Structure 1
Amino acid sequence: MKKRLYMPAEISDYPSTIRSKFRELFNQEPVIIRSPGRINLIGEHTDYNMGFVLPAAIDKAIYIGIQIREDNEIHLHSLDYNDHHTTTTDQIVRSGKLWPDYILGVVEQVLRFAQDDSNSGITNATKQHVFASAAKQGFNIVFGGDIPPGAGLSSSAALECATAYALNELFGLGVSKMDLVKISQAAENEFVGMKCGIMDQFASMFGKQNHLIRLDCQSLEYTYIPFNLKAVKVLLFDTRVKHSLASSAYNERREQCEEGVRLVRERKSEGGSQKSEVRSLRDVTEEDLLSYVKPVNEVVYNRCTFIVAEIQRLLVGCKDLENNDIEAFGKKMFETHDGLSKLYEVSCKELDILVDMVKDDPNVLGARMMGGGFGGCTINLVKNEAVERLTKKVSEMYKKETGVEMLVYEVGVENGTQIIS
């Protein structure tokens, strides 16, 4: 089970608190970066299958204060843990306590990026000189955030993007936002050790107020889709559980999808088609799965069937949103949950209970589990006038069914990573 990045703290104004703590610890004025968490409306587990996702940056974020040092030391302070970590630019190793690793992993990737002349972020000798200087110079960071911990809103990606963006600004590196996203993802994949797709970091960096991002995880092309929230609220119902299956099951699902691709590729190759035509489930049809996968492995067939259907469901759902048909879009969210629960089998009793409680309520336009699965939140589109009544009803029913106090978060859709002062 993935450990929490930070613990909740009673801080109402993170930028002011960070600035005050920075002065206290370092006697410096920091540059402050805001990097948001994310929701994903539809398109779950499609990112590592080279499909489409539909995330948005939210109005809850990680805040970083940063400033250059005169030596090569790196000083990190977590407000929410009230903890400090110190190292140097030539000693970038895992900390043994997780939270510094999301920052240190980004530093490692930035230094690697600096040494690779082929990267689009290095276009001339001047930028190479800036990178060389940055590699020798340390910095101070104080950070904290109001992203609810353990809710599946990608606080880790927010911290990685905040760090990458901050270093880019602080040292004048001139790296593109797209490359900052790739650096952030690589930090989590290679340094932290979580083999996540690119969606979380992309949404945190490229978010746009009142818009979702239709991201093609194969080409990284993206389109902003209007998200009209005048009549509805986005509510997250937090189960407050995270079952230990999550990490191993995530890796297992990836392997099963890869097995489905392998079966289709080999069978098509036997029939004279080119192997290279099938690189991921993005290249597979439902007919392919019926012909080549179902006769061999029913479980793999179910997994792949969900992914192929989910990719198409997302594309049609985007057309619903472009036509301002939230109700049609919401129905697809219910369909997604059904597939995640029955075919992909990454839901759990608590998530299913929350979706079942609202699926027949006319004031709930759509609901589903959100994230990797086995706990975390459901995401719900609820009519404005029903928010208070529904929240009260579901909270009471959930407590009666499970004995657990459900948490509720209302989220808005905001801009991505940026300097705020």
Structure 2
Amino acid sequence: MKEKLYSAFIGKYGDGGDIRMYFAPGRVNLIGEHTDYNGGHVFPCALTLGTYGVARKRQDSKLRFYSMNFESIGIVESDLNDLVPDKKAGWTNYPKGVLWAFKERGYQMDCGMDVLIYGDIPNGSGLSSSASLEVLTGVMLKDLYGFEVSLPDIALIGQYSENNFNGCNCGIMDQFASAMGKKDHAIFLDTNTLEYEYAPVKLEDAKIVITNSKVKHSLVDSAYNDRRNECERALKELKEVTDIQALGDLTEEEFEKYKEAIKDDVCRRRAKHAVYENQRTIHAEAALKAGNVEQFGKYMNESHVSLRDDYEVSCEEIDVLVELAWKIPGVIGSRITGGGFGGCTVSIVKNEAVDTFIEEVQKGYQEKCHKKAEIYVVDIGDGAHRLS
């Protein structure tokens, strides 16, 4: 892979100079969905799938971007002095947004760069290809320009750029998981404080299986921002009757006590999901730590039902995939993962059931939805880093 990328870079930009290579992973969230902007906990892990970047500094202020995933687009040019969102710039708005956010924080780039990108995360799958690209850009800038910036700060800069440059009101989870991932561990992250701990994912006789519905989602164009606004309205009304700063501050019992303060039924259901999902995530992490994978799977199933019914971010195709998985002996748990409105499911499947899972899910999905599901048995990898 590294030789292929290096050769592609030389082919596009020419030889010579200090050419460096980087990787930032995608992520799958095992449980804790739509809690990250509600002051709750999440439990993601970095994947060995992700985004590769090759870069070299230039002598002028030009920025040149090329993606091997979008070869027909060719090289997209920009300039350090012209960092504004532009629909015509397409995918390059993500790295441009990070450059803009670095400048907003006072980091000054004295020259532009040539960049080649290749990602093996399926586009629009909900495995955080955009966050991976943002974190990759941050690690690239830190290394190329010698900036003193921590990996958690790179995650925050990536989130800031997506919120304010690309217009998606995402939480911190995706960027944090990409920056801070650790092989064979999930990250138990309190999004309110950014306190985190690594939890070993010991699935001795099971695998993590991701199923891509091939229904592409776009968080900016979807109802994602609507969900966030609905939660903010619910929080505002709850603050009138109880002293909280975020929905994640409430237990299930406290929510039931105060929920009538939320006037709108839709906002009440959104808040219920945020509160219950946060508590589910706390209990699920404890179950996994205790080696109770079966209980962890039950929490995953409950999470999907809540995301389907209370948060309403699932879709027909995703529900079909999850229901097919639930019927297969050896499936410990299955749920939608990511922002929703399409994308992927994540399942924990016993080793002896993996082949059956792949066969049955693909067959059933084709029959019911007339689409071919892509299925990946995945490994948990490290966070973003420079490649030697």
Scaled by the length of structure 2, what TM-score is found? Answer: 0.94
Q: Look up the match of 1:4.
A: none
Equivalent of 1:76 in 65, 73, 78? 65
Q: Look up the match of 2:84.
A: 93
How many angstroms does 1:407 deviate by? 1.2
SS of corresponding position for 1:56? strand
Alignment pair present for 1:241 and 2:228: no
Tell me which moved more, 177-186 or 353-362: 353-362
Matches within 5 A, 1:185-334: 185-242=159-216, 247-268=221-242, 277-294=243-260, 296-334=263-301
Alignment pair present for 1:65 and 2:31: no
CA distance in 1, matches of 2:198, 2:129: 22
Alignment pair present for 1:23 and 2:10: yes
Letter in 2 for 1:178: P
| 8 Å Cα contact 2:301-2:334 kept in structure 1 | yes
- Taking structure 1 as reference, are residues 56 and 243 closer, same or farther at Cα in structure 2, changes over 3 Å only? closer
How many angstroms does 1:330 deviate by? 0.6
How many angstroms does 1:287 deviate by? 4.3
Letter in 1 for 2:197: T
Q: Look up the match of 1:161.
A: 135
Letter in 1 for 2:371: V
Equivalent of 2:34 in 24, 45, 49? 45
- Taking structure 1 as reference, are residues 137 and 368 closer, same or farther at Cα in structure 2, changes over 3 Å only? same
Give the unaligned 5+ runs of structure 1: 1-12, 115-130, 269-276
How many angstroms does 1:285 deviate by? 3.9
SS of corresponding position for 1:48? coil
CA distance in 2, matches of 1:243, 1:419: 30
CA distance in 1, matches of 2:221, 2:293: 33
| 8 Å Cα contact 1:289-1:301 kept in structure 2 | no
Letter in 2 for 1:27: D
CA distance in 2, matches of 1:413, 1:341: 26
CA distance in 2, matches of 1:178, 1:358: 35
Give the unaligned 5+ runs of structure 2: none
Matches within 5 A, 1:8-19: 13=1, 15-19=2-6
| 8 Å Cα contact 1:359-1:366 kept in structure 2 | yes
Alignment pair present for 1:103 and 2:88: no
Kindly report the root-mean-square deviation, in angstroms, between the aligned alpha carbons of the 2 structures.
1.7
SS of corresponding position for 1:240? coil
| 8 Å Cα contact 1:246-1:374 kept in structure 2 | no
CA distance in 2, matches of 1:291, 1:334: 25
Alignment pair present for 1:139 and 2:113: yes
Alignment pair present for 1:177 and 2:157: no
Letter in 2 for 1:20: S
| 8 Å Cα contact 2:315-2:341 kept in structure 1 | yes
| 8 Å Cα contact 1:50-1:281 kept in structure 2 | yes
Letter in 2 for 1:280: A
Q: CA offsets, 1:174-209, max 9 Å, x none?
A: 211121111111111111111111100000000000
How many angstroms does 1:248 deviate by? 4.0
How many angstroms does 1:245 deviate by? 9.4
CA distance in 1, matches of 2:268, 2:105: 39
- Taking structure 1 as reference, are residues 157 and 359 closer, same or farther at Cα in structure 2, changes over 3 Å only? same
Matches within 5 A, 1:306-385: 306-385=273-352
- Taking structure 1 as reference, are residues 325 and 286 closer, same or farther at Cα in structure 2, changes over 3 Å only? closer
CA distance in 1, matches of 2:51, 2:23: 6
CA distance in 2, matches of 1:44, 1:260: 18
SS of corresponding position for 2:344? strand
Task: Work out the percentage of aligned pairs sharing the same amino acid.
Answer: 38
Tell which structure's C-alpha radius of gyration is larger: 1
How many angstroms does 1:375 deviate by? 1.1
How many angstroms does 1:258 deviate by? 1.3
How many angstroms does 1:221 deviate by? 0.7
